[in-house]
């Protein structure tokens, strides 16, 4: 028994338990912003780690680098994130204030008064005028149309801000409430609304209205106007607030999409933990060294340990305990504090660049690409699987009726036999008329007639409907002479051949749903006959037809022919109802409509009692053209090694034909159609399919499956339902599907789409992408690693739950092959470089430990350490990660094979990470030992010794120059911004030294107590010596020569790699034809189809099952042969 919400009309006291109409989308209040934001930021492990280190540094005598070297960089990172969050929250607060202060017209003390939206309460009587937005979810009581028509009790609503659909929708007022047109009608009336509890189902509403006389009236979604929609072409409506504020369906649908984490982010988190583990290991080793050194040196260095007794174990252990934390603080920055803030800043700018790309701008709809989740930019460069809807995604979703089948004959819509009214002279004239009447009356289309006069007879009628198919059918019927004129709540009118008008009483309408896959309308014609018209998918319509219907076999053939040419098909049928039969059914139907428990199921159950023994009227074939550039996009994505699946609700023949049209299927490809109605039959057929694929994949059954270039799998929703109900079939389907080059799943429901995506996502080592344009694609989009919505004719439902949105499928090519690939490489380099640059400098601290008795003394000044990430190394890498392009956009589009680097994770994996760390170790050794050996016994010209901290300045200078040069070597595209930031990062170091030294000198004069041995103003003099610059030059050359040589070698001598060949020739305006002669010699690794691996979960169980099934299928394979495959 579901819970019931009871709203008392115009009774504030009894509705006080409901929430107000004020909305709040902000995350913070002024008083809790700082603590709450910090609490959220400290959910990130790296921030907690650096805060722990900062707290350790505050303990006197523990930190070798002062008290602020961790706290200051951490504070800057936290502050940057805090400013970003505050900016976003302020914008939300401004938006909330504007919304809450809009004006609503509410009944107060017998008159309608203007109040802000936030003052509206549940149960209030509200008037909404033309062009105004609804302040809450309102039950319509009465309607005042623009033009008063007898019996018309409907209004027009636009829901573009709610679901993106720009077509007008009809909303109706019940006849019992239509008399409530003035404030006096509501005075002292005891009425209540009982409905479902607040929920997020935009298109569902169940409830009853109890009038003052006790009469109950059924309420449906047609009686509700939702917050976020606007009143159009209607003077005003009067209604009652049912849901307010956060209870409205609009607000219930504003929840955030599920949090998704990119592959690189997951690996980065593991790298942070690994580096922490290595750091703790090094600290432990150094701490052991400290205790050994102390025990050996204590008797000799009595002046260092004046209070310790000889061989004092307690003293040694205490020193080791203290030394552990001292060394830990010293090596804290092996984990880069600026890593995550650099990644976030980079992705934000990358997202902005994607949104501003004019090559992904659709001029016709004035729509740009939109980045709704920057966190997944790099995943766009690693996609293995694309799951695509068909209608509106691959096709235009602009329907045209091309073929009709009537009375066993097929007609083109432009056939002279039926155009211009010529169908009246055919022998099938009665059947054609009945068919056209069905098309004109069985729908939810709203005609809108323009107020502008036309010069000729041309009509300016605009049809609105949530279904483009319905508009196509109504337009086709009009073209053939049966025009739908208008419809009220109780009447529909059609004009026949511009000669006379037929009026029908509209008795009942059984709406279309994705579960029913059909729609029915019951009407009474002028002769008093009650007629049921039904249209729907052939799979559900044929079981409802009377077996004695004429021309069933020929119509089936026509449907197959329509589907094979790529047309969308519908079956139309009718039945004349007996008056008594209808009245009995109508009573049951009204009870189902007024039920508050399982209303939907009851309505569907009752509908089946009338939708039976139908007589076939005909069938339709509707064309939905491919979008521009779809075939080229799919071709290039396949060259990139991406596996593409099409998940559609269309019939199999239509889906297959579209597959050929868009080059998803090739002429040489063999189709594997899964057949069977039972578990055994489907299992047998899948096993047979697996056996057919054995030659190309059987040898790799144990680990990975190479996709065959010869097979495509086709399966429908009924078979998928069987597959998902048995684990054995799931495993079989997985192994068959990942071996096929293409997969088409037809007649699948929205839930099945999501289940298919999750099946691959959870069982195959891959990155998945789902793309669609309709509300039925939302689950699929949210289930994939990356979800892309297309802003098409089916509204913005898919866009609102997506991570990225584009206007056309063809833009997916550049989004993945260019922006995705660039983002993957850039973010990969950023993460690797952040670890590298910190290792280069802070490992010099590690090497110094071996020369200072493991004491943890720092060779670098504490403020130099603090400024390393803030001033000298933080900005250049962000610039690199935003602007660098290893290949041009043109080359990336021209050679989709380059995408393999992301798909195979070539830029960011454990091997690459270790190579960068090894390189950083080498560079840190050079940066430490060359200056140390050069200056260890040196003096200033005035005779003053060059101490360790002065040598540290040389090491620091070398590190800054080396890491900047390393970044310059990695840079492929140079702009003035690169030159500026790279140059500034180097130039700022001596400038900083000068000002830091001058400030220190000034402070020392004012506070003579400062020890002169720590005078930085004396140490920075080292940069004015020739020896300093010779050492720095030697270090930079030694560190960079290997990297320079390696880059030169792979670019100009590794030309068997397509990537390096394209890089070396791209500035010469090359095309594929220019290097066609090189293609036979290119390493086929780039050209090879993707290798897909099943996840290891319960793999042994699966393998044993498959081997048993495959061999049992052949029957003749011996156990000896079986052992050969082990």
Long-range contacts of 937-941 (CB under 8 A, 24+ apart): 938/1027, 940/1021, 940/1022, 940/1025, 941/1025
Cα 571 to Cα 564: distance, rounded to the nearest angstrom: 16
Q: Would you tell me how many other CB atoms lie within 10 Å of the CB of residue 108?
A: 15
Longest dimension (CA), the chain: 123
Distance of CA 110 to the CA centre of its chain: 50
Cα 208–210–213 angle (5° rounding)? 155
Q: Are 346 and 834 in contact (CB under 8 A)?
A: no
Q: Is 1098 left (phi over 0), alpha (psi -120 to 50) or beta?
A: left
As a three-state string, the secondary structure of 708-767 is CCCEEEEEEHHHHHHHHCCHHHHHHHHHHHCCCCEEEEECCCHHHHHHHHHHHHHHECCC
- Helix runs in 298-391, H state only: 313-330, 339-355
114 given a catalytic annotation: no
Q: Is 528 left (phi over 0), alpha (psi -120 to 50) or beta?
A: left
**What Å distances lie between residue 166 and 249, 398, 463, 575, 831, CA to CA?**
19, 15, 11, 34, 44
- Cβ contacts of 536 within 8 Å, gap of 6 or more: 512, 516, 517, 518, 519, 570, 571
Q: Are 881 and 834 in contact (CB under 8 A)?
A: no
Cα 443 to Cα 467: distance, rounded to the nearest angstrom: 9
User: Which residues participate in the annotated binding site for Mg(2+)?
Assistant: 389, 391, 773, 777
Distance of CA 109 to the CA centre of its chain: 50
As beta bridge partners, residue 172 has: 154
- Cβ contacts of 54 within 8 Å, gap of 6 or more: 70, 71, 74
Of the candidates 110, 108, 148, the one whose C-alpha atom is nearest the C-alpha of residue 124 is: 108
User: Which residues participate in the annotated binding site?
Assistant: 389-391, 470, 512, 535, 568, 648-650, 747, 753, 773, 776-777
The kind and range of the H/E element at 129 are strand 125-129
Q: Are 495 and 477 in contact (CB under 8 A)?
A: no
Buried b (16+ CB within 10 A) or exposed e, 217-232: bbbbebbbbbbbbbbb
Q: What single-letter DSSP state applies at residue 149?
A: -
Of the residues 247, 287, 389, 886, which is catalytic? 389
Cα 1020 to Cα 307: distance, rounded to the nearest angstrom: 37
Q: Which residues are catalytic?
A: 389
């Amino acid at each position: 028994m579901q819970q019931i919400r009871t709203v008392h009309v115009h009774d504030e006291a009894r509705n006080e338990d409901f929430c107000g109409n004020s909305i709040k989308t902000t995350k913070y209040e002024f008083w809790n912003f700082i603590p709450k934001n910090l609490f959220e930021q400290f959910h990130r492990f790296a921030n907690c780690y650096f805060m722990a280190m900062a707290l350790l540094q505050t303990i006197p005598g523990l930190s070798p680098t002062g008290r602020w070297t961790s706290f200051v960089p951490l504070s800057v990172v936290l502050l940057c994130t805090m400013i970003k969050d505050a900016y976003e929250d302020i914008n939300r607060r401004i938006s909330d204030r504007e919304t809450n202060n809009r004006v609503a017209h509410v009944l107060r003390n017998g008159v309608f008064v203007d109040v802000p939206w936030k003052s509206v309460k549940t149960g209030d009587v509200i008037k909404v005028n033309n062009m105004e937005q609804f302040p809450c979810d309102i039950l319509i009581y009465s309607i005042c149309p623009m033009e008063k028509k007898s019996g018309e009790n409907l209004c027009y609503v636009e829901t573009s801000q709610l679901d993106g659909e720009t077509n007008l929708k009809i909303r109706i007022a019940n006849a019992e409430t239509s008399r409530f047109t003035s404030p006096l009608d509501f005075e002292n009336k005891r009425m209540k609304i009982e409905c479902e509890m607040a929920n997020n189902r935009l298109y569902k509403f169940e409830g009853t209205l109890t009038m003052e006389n006790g009469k109950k009236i059924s309420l449906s979604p047609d009686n509700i106007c939702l917050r976020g929609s606007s009143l159009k072409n209607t003077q005003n409506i009067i209604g009652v607030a049912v849901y307010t504020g956060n209870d409205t369906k609009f607000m219930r649908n504003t929840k955030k999409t599920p949090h998704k984490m990119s592959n690189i982010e997951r690996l980065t988190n593991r790298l942070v933990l690994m580096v922490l583990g290595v750091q703790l290991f090094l600290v432990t080793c150094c701490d052991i060294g400290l205790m050994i050194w102390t025990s050996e040196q204590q008797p000799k260095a009595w002046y260092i340990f004046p209070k310790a007794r000889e061989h004092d174990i307690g003293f040694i252990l205490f020193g080791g305990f203290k030394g552990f934390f001292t060394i830990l603080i010293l090596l804290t920055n092996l984990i880069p504090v600026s890593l995550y803030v650099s990644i976030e800043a980079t992705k934000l700018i990358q997202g902005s660049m994607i949104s501003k790309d004019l090559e992904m701008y659709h001029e016709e709809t004035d729509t740009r690409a939109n980045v709704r989740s920057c966190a997944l930019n790099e995943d766009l460069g690693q996609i293995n699987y694309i799951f695509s809807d068909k209608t509106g995604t691959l096709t235009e979703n602009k329907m045209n009726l091309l073929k009709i089948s009537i009375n066993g004959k097929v007609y083109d819509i432009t056939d002279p036999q039926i155009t211009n009214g010529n169908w009246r002279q055919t022998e099938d004239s009665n059947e054609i008329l009945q068919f056209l009447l069905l098309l004109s009356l069985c729908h939810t289309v709203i005609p809108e007639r323009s107020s502008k006069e036309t010069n000729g007879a041309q009509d300016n009628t605009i049809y609105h409907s949530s279904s483009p198919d319905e508009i196509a059918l109504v337009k086709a019927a009009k073209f053939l002479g049966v025009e739908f004129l208008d419809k009220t709540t109780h009447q529909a009118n059609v004009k026949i051949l511009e000669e006379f008008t037929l009026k029908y009483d509209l008795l009942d309408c059984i709406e279309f749903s994705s579960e029913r896959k059909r729609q029915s309308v019951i009407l009474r014609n002028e002769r008093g006959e009650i007629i049921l018209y039904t249209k729907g998918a052939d799979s559900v319509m044929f079981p409802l037809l009377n077996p004695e219907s004429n021309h069933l076999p020929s119509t089936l053939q026509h449907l197959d022919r329509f589907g094979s040419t790529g047309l969308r098909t519908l079956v139309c049928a009718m039945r004349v109802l007996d008056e008594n039969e209808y009245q009995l059914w109508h009573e049951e139907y009204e009870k189902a409509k007024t039920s508050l428990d399982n209303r939907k199921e009851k309505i569907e159950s009752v509908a089946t009692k009338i939708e039976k023994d139908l007589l076939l009227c005909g069938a339709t074939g509707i064309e939905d053209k491919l979008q521009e550039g779809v075939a080229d996009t799919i071709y290039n994505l396949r060259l990139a090694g991406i596996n593409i699946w099409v998940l559609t609700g269309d019939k199999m023949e239509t889906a297959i034909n579209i597959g050929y049209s868009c080059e998803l299927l090739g002429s040489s490809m063999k189709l594997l159609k899964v057949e069977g109605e039972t578990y055994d039959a489907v299992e047998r057929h899948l096993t047979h399919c697996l056996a057919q694929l054995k030659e190309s994949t059987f040898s790799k059954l144990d680990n990975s499956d190479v996709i065959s270039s010869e097979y495509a799998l086709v399966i429908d929703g009924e078979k998928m339902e069987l597959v998902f109900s048995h684990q054995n079939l799931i495993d079989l389907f997985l192994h068959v599907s990942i071996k096929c080059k293409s997969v088409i799943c037809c007649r699948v429901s929205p839930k099945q789409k999501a289940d298919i995506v999750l099946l691959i996502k959870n069982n195959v080592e891959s990155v998945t992408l789902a793309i669609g344009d309709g509300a039925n694609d939302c689950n699929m989009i949210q289930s994939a690693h990356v979800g892309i919505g297309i802003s098409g004719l089916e509204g913005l439902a898919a866009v609102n739950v997506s991570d990225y949105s584009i206007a056309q499928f063809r833009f997916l090519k550049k989004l993945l092959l260019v922006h995705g690939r660039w983002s993957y490489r850039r973010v990969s380099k950023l993460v690797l470089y952040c670890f590298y640059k910190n290792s280069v400098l802070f490992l010099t601290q590690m090497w110094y430990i071996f020369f200072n008795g493991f004491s943890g003394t720092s060779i670098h000044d504490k403020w130099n350490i603090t400024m390393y990430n803030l001033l000298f190394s933080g900005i250049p890498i962000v610039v690199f990660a935003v602007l660098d392009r290893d290949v041009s956009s043109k080359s990336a589009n021209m050679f989709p094979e380059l995408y393999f680097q992301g798909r195979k994770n070539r830029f960011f994996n454990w091997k690459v990470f270790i190579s960068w760390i090894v390189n950083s170790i080498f560079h840190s050794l050079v940066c430490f030992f060359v200056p140390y050996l050069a200056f260890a016994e040196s003096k200033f010209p005035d005779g003053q010794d060059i101490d360790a901290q002065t040598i540290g300045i040389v090491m620091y200078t070398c590190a800054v120059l080396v890491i900047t040069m390393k970044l310059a070597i990695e840079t492929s595209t140079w702009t003035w911004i690169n030159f500026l930031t790279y140059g500034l990062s180097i130039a700022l170091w001596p400038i900083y030294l000068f000002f830091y030294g001058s400030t220190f000198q000034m402070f020392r004069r004012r506070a003579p107590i400062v020890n002169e041995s720590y005078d930085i103003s004396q140490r920075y003099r080292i940069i004015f010596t020739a020896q300093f610059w010779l050492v720095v030059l030697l270090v930079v050359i030694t560190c960079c020569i290997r990297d320079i040589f390696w880059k030169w070698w792979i670019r100009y001598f590794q030309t068997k790699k397509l990537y390096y060949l394209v890089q070396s020739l791209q500035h010469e305006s090359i095309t594929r034809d220019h290097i066609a002669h090189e293609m036979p010699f290119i390493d086929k690794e780039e050209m090879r189809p993707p290798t897909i691996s099943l996840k290891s979960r319960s793999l042994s169980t699966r393998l044993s099952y498959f081997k048993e099934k495959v061999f049992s299928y052949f029957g003749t394979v011996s156990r000896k042969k079986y052992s050969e495959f082990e």
